[in-house]
Homo-oligomer: A and B are copies of this chain.
Amino acid sequence: MIRALDLNADLGEGFGAYSLGDDAGLMRIVTSANVACGFHAGDPVVMRRTLRLARDNGVRVGAHPSFPDLQGFGRRPMRMAPAEVEAMVCYQIGALLGLARAEGMTVDHVKPHGALGNMAAADPDLAEAVAGAVRAVDPDLVLLSPAASALSAAGRRHGLRVGEEIFADRAYGDDGQLLPRALDGAMIHDPDASLAQVLRFLEAGGLVTRGGAHIPTAIHSVCVHGDTPRSLAIAGAVRDGLERHGLRVAALREVVAG
């Protein structure tokens, strides 16, 4: 029986003069912040500001490494050799570690971003590279990974604690992957429907796909978004609903510790 759940969000995704998303709003809702590390978003100043904001809100932080693609916001698939990916992920985790140390903070977890995350969820070689990088930098880091994915498996092979993550506002295909955004019904816009999906997954002990299939998996964290006022409302509704249903919302590190 799952008793506690983490709520995570991608934060610190501004860059230089640019801002993106409602970091201040989400920081009041989530328990874990995935902090962009400069490759798809975030620069050293933005990263530092995001760390401070997390600390002020009692939110735990993790690294959110990406392909090197600021223009594409890390969403464009790139084919890189696994050794390149591994070094690139070490670099980005380290960069956040450097700033976290400067703030007297610790980094709890790592969650690969965008195309890197999607590809590592499906491609065992990439998954191996990402999980290997995390373990190499610090085996105590939690790997926050799409539930029931190749990346979760690679994390466990490396002896990492793995946080299995589900989405409240996205429908799943029968392969256990998110339906592409372009598809009808791929996005769940209603706060109640989002909460219902999370509760359904928790009850089922796994993903329930659009086609009705069950994919069993532990569930440790729910990813929420803050791009729009509406998504912020969803995030709040999910948090409130979970607590109303007797679940404790707690930081990833606690949840994976059982």
Which residues from chain A sit less than 8 Å from chain B, CB to CB? 14-18, 20, 38, 41, 43-45, 47-48, 68-73, 76-80, 83-84, 86-88, 90-103, 115, 133, 136-138
Contact = CB atoms under 8 A, between A and B. Distances in A.
A69 B124 CA distance: 24
Number of copies: 4
Contact of A44 (B41, B43, B73, B87): B87
Nearest to A49: B87
A153 B152 CA distance: 44
Dominant secondary structure at the A interface: helix
B79 A90 contact: no
B133 A71 contact: no
A34 B197 CA distance: 48
Contact of A98 (B84, B90, B102): B90
A12 to B, nearest CB: 12
Given A101-B137, A137-B101, A87 B47 contact: yes
Contacts of A88: 44-45
Contacts of A44: 84, 87-88, 90-91
Contacts of A102: 86-87, 90, 133, 136-137
Given A71-B43, A79-B77, A94 B84 contact: no
Given A18-B20, A71-B16, A94-B97, A45 B78 contact: no
A87 B44 CA distance: 5
Contacts of A69: 68, 78
Nearest to A77: B79
Contacts of A97: 94, 97-98
Given A43-B71, A73-B16, A48 B90 contact: yes
A191 to B, nearest CB: 24
A39 to B, nearest CB: 10
A113 to B, nearest CB: 12
A86 B45 CA distance: 9
Q: Which 8 A-B pairs have the closest CB atoms?
A: A94-B98, A102-B136, A44-B87, A18-B18, A44-B91, A17-B73, A16-B71, A77-B79
Contacts of A14: 18
A27 B215 CA distance: 52
Contacts of A93: 98
Contacts of A98: 90-95, 97, 137
Contact of A45 (B18, B20, B77, B87): B87
A159 B20 CA distance: 39
